[in-house]
Amino acid sequence: MAKEVGKDFPILSRKVHGKRLVYLDSAATSQKPESVLDAERAYYETMNANVHRGVHTLSAEATEAYENARKKVAAFINSSPEEIIFTRNATEGINLVSKTFGMANLKRGDLIVLTVMEHHSNIVPWQQLANERGALLAFVDIDGRGVLDQQQYLSFLKKKPKIVVFTQISNVLGTLNPVKEMTRRAHDAGAVVLVDACQSVSHTAIDVKDIGCDFLVFSGHKMLGPTGIGALYGRKELLEHMPPFLVGGDMIREVTLSKSTWNDVPHKFEAGTPNVAGAIGLAAAVDYLQTYGMDKVAGHVRTLTDYALRQLKKVPGISILGSDDRIGLVSFVMEGIPPHDVASILDDHGVAVRSGHHCAMPLHARLGLESSVRASFQIYNTKEDIDVLVDALLHCRKVFGL
């Protein structure tokens, strides 16, 4: 499957330091198929105009393409188009919820529940909200396998939090959290739930109705789409009662010198000229993934993940973070070799991995580490890619005399 898929991604034909590019950094940003590049190019070459504001042909075509993109993204996660807000990325989506729903509904002493495995983008906005509103934060810990402590989670829920936020797949451990059950329990406690689906949106089928969450965010660039575009799903009844995040431009219904009124959702939360090309490219990424089907994509990525775990364990001195029950990525450290040196030597072999704290400093601190190496997988990766990674890691040991 992946060998044929790889032909659709132009960048994978290039060489790095004279070697075939082995791209294993998709958890940071994925590569883009030709169809996504073509979709963005077609917008700029054939219908480049602003949306929602013109009656001429180009504007009408651009508006139709933009709103059709919203419909495709909505269908992809089983929501309604009016519940999809286009953002620059998941970070903006989380900030939107914290600055609107959070500021309007939290008061001093209210509790926000998070987990220690969150990306910084799903920690810092809630820290800011807590500081501004006098709210409290509680973090669900992990056990020795890198799995969330569900008993501690239940103990926090007994304190009746107002907001609960968690990732569906950890961007460091690859842990697939039981988001449906966690959402149900949070709702039983009276909390509103936000799910970070950045690492899951391109690896698993997402159904927001089945999960039952109130908000869900993801970024297009992690699911074969363009940078600078993402989406926030929000239940319509919540969105309708939330104040706007940014004001001006297309989110306005009427403006006088003394007051303004807001447009309907989702337009109320899309101030100014949107990233039309990005939305169209994101829709093309959805089309591409659905060509194969998310079940097949998930099966391929899980097979690669399991294979990587088996092969990496053959490398002497390697320590893998988390449990074997994961999908999409493997983070590890090598005895006697700093992570950045590992990544640099791998780059000499044409292998692109991520080194550092992966925007998850609290989780690394919890694990007693400052940084790690992360190899992450996508639809275009093969077992041969992992074999190259393992050979390069063995070379790392030779370079360091191990």
For 111-129, write each residue's pLDDT tens digit: 999 999 999 999 999 999 9
Q: What proportion of the chain, given as a percentage, has pLDDT over 70?
A: 99
Helix, strand and coil content of the chain, in percent to the nearest 5, comes to 45, 20, 35
CATH class of 37-290: alpha beta
Q: Given this model, what pLDDT does residue 1 score?
A: 63
Pinpoint the residues of the chain covered by CATH 3.90.1150.10: 2-24+294-399
Architecture of domain 2-24+294-399 in CATH? Answer: Alpha-Beta Complex (3.90)
Q: Given this model, what pLDDT does residue 53 score?
A: 80
Pinpoint the residues of the chain covered by CATH 3.40.640.10: 37-290
β-strand pairing of 84-87 with 230-234: antiparallel
Q: Given this model, what pLDDT does residue 249 score?
A: 86
Concatenating the DSSP letter of every residue in 271-337 gives -SS--HHHHHHHHHHHHHHHHH-HHHHHHHHHHHHHHHHHHHTTSTTEEE-S-S---SEEEEEETTB
Count of CB atoms within 10 A of residue 25's CB?
21
Q: Given this model, what pLDDT does residue 2 score?
A: 61
Q: Given this model, what pLDDT does residue 44 score?
A: 98
- Active-site residue flag, 359: yes
253 φ, ψ (degrees, to nearest 5): -95, -50
- Which residue has tokens 């994978």? 12
**116's tokens:** 């220690």
Q: Given this model, what pLDDT does residue 193 score?
A: 98
Report the mean per-residue pLDDT for the chain.
96
pLDDT of residue 161 exceeding 90, the answer is: yes
> In which band, very low, low, confident or very high, does the pLDDT at 250 lie, cut at 50, 70 and 90?
confident
11-29 average pLDDT score: 97
* Residue 229 neighbours by CB under 8 Å, 6+ apart: 86, 87, 88, 89, 219, 220, 221, 275, 278, 279, 281, 282
> In which band, very low, low, confident or very high, does the pLDDT at 359 lie, cut at 50, 70 and 90?
very high
Cα–Cα distance list, 22 to 25, 127, 204, 355 (Å): 9, 38, 23, 16
**362's tokens:** 């609290």
β-strand pairing of 15-16 with 192-196: unpaired
Cα–Cα distance measured from residue 237 to residue 235, given in angstroms and rounded to the nearest whole number? 6
46 φ, ψ (degrees, to nearest 5): -125, -20
377-382 average pLDDT score: 97
> In which band, very low, low, confident or very high, does the pLDDT at 6 lie, cut at 50, 70 and 90?
confident
Q: Given this model, what pLDDT does residue 5 score?
A: 81
Cα–Cα distance measured from residue 232 to residue 83, given in angstroms and rounded to the nearest whole number? 8
Cα–Cα distance measured from residue 295 to residue 38, given in angstroms and rounded to the nearest whole number? 26
Cα–Cα distance measured from residue 219 to residue 239, given in angstroms and rounded to the nearest whole number? 20
Query: pLDDT tens across 302-321, in order?
Result: 999 999 999 999 999 999 99
Query: pLDDT tens across 57-103, in order?
Result: 999 999 999 999 999 999 999 999 999 999 999 999 999 999 999 99
In this structure, are residues 101 and 73 in contact, taking their beta carbons and an 8 Å threshold?
no
In this structure, are residues 2 and 31 in contact, taking their beta carbons and an 8 Å threshold?
no
Choosing from 198, 213, 359, 396, which is the catalytic residue? Answer: 359
- Which residue has tokens 């109705």? 209
Cα–Cα distance measured from residue 370 to residue 38, given in angstroms and rounded to the nearest whole number? 41
Burial class (CB in 10 A: 0-12, 13-18, 19+), 114: buried
349-356 average pLDDT score: 98
Q: Given this model, what pLDDT does residue 54 score?
A: 83
